[in-house]
Chain A
């Protein structure tokens, strides 16, 4: 399998962008013939982080008025990287409190799972504030079981 060249997408703060990003990723990754589990893990990371930027970074902004970018790349064989860059106020989504996944049904809050899943499904996740930008870098080594 040959690694595709990096692809950068510009998205706006509208949840409808989730499907566009997912479809673009699927097309970009086609040549890699990703197993279902890897494809789903990466699309999930993409959706959760895009949703976070829209809900937290650009909270109170009318839909479609702010833009941010996501880049898909394959920096090494068997390794996929997603890089999200936005110019919202500084916000580190990875700093969210851990979710207690062993709590019983009654005590489970509705929410907070997105970042938890991203951390579990990605091999590497890092946040950086660089100048006016939030930069989130996520990597998954293909075929790795989720961290427990």
Chain B
């Protein structure tokens, strides 16, 4: 999986591309923890190029949302492809996480 970071005035955006499986998820978790440690309050995860996510990736998403909320900020998930959206829906993540249509609506 590739992670591309962009700093916006109001948020740190991590764009994920490829497969977020049990092997790739520890690297994403480290990246998210580093973003939080740098003092960022708003994390936006751009999932537009995410081809695959398993429960290991979902755990990292849930934990990111909890950590940013605890720190007084938020984690927002944008531009979900249809198959990723289905997995979010089955997991109850569409209601428990902050999911928005596109990047612009998250900034």
* Chain A contact residues, CB within 8 Å of chain B: 15-16, 18-19, 22, 36-37, 40-41, 43-44, 47-48, 51, 99-106, 108, 110-111, 113-114, 116-117, 120-121, 146, 148
**B54 touching A15, Cβ below 8 Å:** no
**B92 touching A101, Cβ below 8 Å:** yes
Q: Are A146 and B59 CB-contacts (below 8 A) given A16-B23, A47-B21? A: no
**B52 touching A101, Cβ below 8 Å:** no
Within 8 Å CB of B36, what residues of A?
Answer: none
Q: Are A19 and B52 CB-contacts (below 8 A) given A102-B95, A146-B90? A: no
Q: Which of A41, A102, A113 interacts with B58 by CB under 8 Å?
A: A113
Q: How many of chain B's residues touch chain A, expressed as a range?
A: 20 to 34
**A114 touching B54, Cβ below 8 Å:** yes
Q: Are A15 and B62 CB-contacts (below 8 A) given A105-B69, A108-B96? A: no
**B21 touching A22, Cβ below 8 Å:** yes
Within 8 Å CB of B92, what residues of A?
Answer: 99-103, 108
